[in-house]
Structure 1
């Protein structure tokens, strides 16, 4: 019937708090990133990147708020014609690598082997607040047994990796804090 029990994500600012319930699972850092070897890989300010094209993962109605968050509040003006909206992380990565674009995304991607070898988080003087990822449900809905089981299994795996001493897990959890 096209319905879903829940989604893993975040509630967009402006979404109706009466319509959705949000249970935060983790808090993550975000960074401006470029491909490894990008001409601006050593940029230290968002102002150094205003002549570059950007690929951002945002909804059409959320793009203006994201531009304000990334640029305007830092006194920077980016021509919005320089922005391409990505619908997936793989599209974002392809645009980053093939078109020399800049992006803003979770810092953890730089620690994931398939991305991290090819993406670089920039050390900019501008900072961005951590974001939260969690379980989004319709406020009036009840989770199915299958959904509850999936969430329980997911949380067990996340907690196990968060306690792990493996080098790969330590790298992943440097930019993530558990809230569960």
Structure 2
């Protein structure tokens, strides 16, 4: 089994055909075909089946893909670690950030990281741990920074707590309910939701139930920070969001907080990566910056109003 065979196999799997993989890799299609055939011969198993518009992984191929991507990821890290320790500051760092981590941490570390590693390509993915967990395991994502609930803490990943967090009710500037002071005042409001849970409405339903209210009126669900911001500033919908949305200069000019008597606890912000042989020097420095900012006074939560109820 050779490196180029694994590379070619992953390229075919990701692109769905030998021709597309050859185009991406800049190789002739017969070379890709021969590479896959040699790999299948060495494994004694068929990895692909031909279809009308390309190829499809067999069940064995699907299982092998996970391991092949892991091997290629470790080879990439090994090469980059050696180069970076020898003073060659190139390579790639892939990090996943939630919206709270984007607003509360990322903006504060970018300049320092780029100054130290100007030639390391930083690829940033917006998401939550459940959507990035597989990529963390197979090496496609180096680090994740964002909320992690107690119910979702994989034992095979290294998890470092950065800080406890808080949710507040956010709305557009000049919202007619800006002077509300309790959840009861918001009982008839329309809401948008964004969540790391399978059922996005659960977090709001529980808050309403704890105050003796019926189910909230949910009219929109967003999966990206940009979608949330667009909906909030253009409608009267409310959202229960991490406090970083209110504190960040990036969005504070468009969004404000309805200052209820109590804020609400949110899942703590964590940093997650694979344990074992460790991170590349660039990833180590990035994680150091994340932890330094998280421990500084730059990360502020409304602890004086933090609700004792966890949800």
Over 3 Å counting, the alpha-carbon distance change for 1:142 and 1:8 in structure 2 is farther
Given the alignment, which residue of 33, 44, 56 partners 2:181?
44
The answer to whether the 8 A contact 1:30-1:107 is kept is: yes
Between the aligned partners of 1:174 and 1:12, the Cα distance in structure 2 is: 18
Given the alignment, which residue of 57, 62, 65 partners 2:202?
65
| Paired residue secondary structure (1:97) | helix
Between the aligned partners of 2:301 and 2:180, the Cα distance in structure 1 is: 22
Over 3 Å counting, the alpha-carbon distance change for 1:128 and 1:15 in structure 2 is same
- Residue of structure 2 equivalent to 1:100: 236
Bigger fraction of residues in helix: 2
- Residue of structure 2 equivalent to 1:173: 300
The answer to whether the 8 A contact 1:43-1:49 is kept is: yes
- Residue of structure 1 equivalent to 2:246: 110
The answer to whether the 8 A contact 1:33-1:120 is kept is: yes
Matched, 1:154 2:290: yes
Over 3 Å counting, the alpha-carbon distance change for 1:11 and 1:19 in structure 2 is farther
- Residue of structure 1 equivalent to 2:221: 85
The answer to whether the 8 A contact 1:20-1:137 is kept is: yes
C-alpha displacement of 1:112: 1.6
The answer to whether the 8 A contact 1:46-1:126 is kept is: no
Query: TM-score normalised to the size of structure 2?
Result: 0.46
Higher deviation after alignment, 98-107 or 3-12: 3-12
Between the aligned partners of 1:62 and 1:19, the Cα distance in structure 2 is: 25
C-alpha displacement of 1:25: 0.8
Between the aligned partners of 1:155 and 1:112, the Cα distance in structure 2 is: 18
- Residue of structure 1 equivalent to 2:279: 144
- Deviations along 1:127-177, one digit per CA (max 9) or x if unpaired, are 412541110235x55542132221013334555xx35xxxxx5xx63548x
C-alpha displacement of 1:64: 4.3
Contiguous gaps of at least 5 residues in structure 2: 1-68, 70-134, 304-311
- Residue of structure 2 equivalent to 1:124: 260
- Residue of structure 2 equivalent to 1:31: 168
Over 3 Å counting, the alpha-carbon distance change for 1:25 and 1:122 in structure 2 is same
| Paired residue secondary structure (2:164) | strand
Query: TM-score normalised to the size of structure 1?
Result: 0.75
Over 3 Å counting, the alpha-carbon distance change for 1:142 and 1:74 in structure 2 is farther
Matched, 1:74 2:201: no
- Residue of structure 2 equivalent to 1:166: none
Higher deviation after alignment, 114-123 or 10-19: 10-19
C-alpha displacement of 1:59: 4.3
Over 3 Å counting, the alpha-carbon distance change for 1:20 and 1:83 in structure 2 is farther
Higher deviation after alignment, 9-18 or 143-152: 9-18
Between the aligned partners of 1:32 and 1:76, the Cα distance in structure 2 is: 17
- Deviations along 1:46-95, one digit per CA (max 9) or x if unpaired, are 22223222122114614243133332222122345x24221122211111
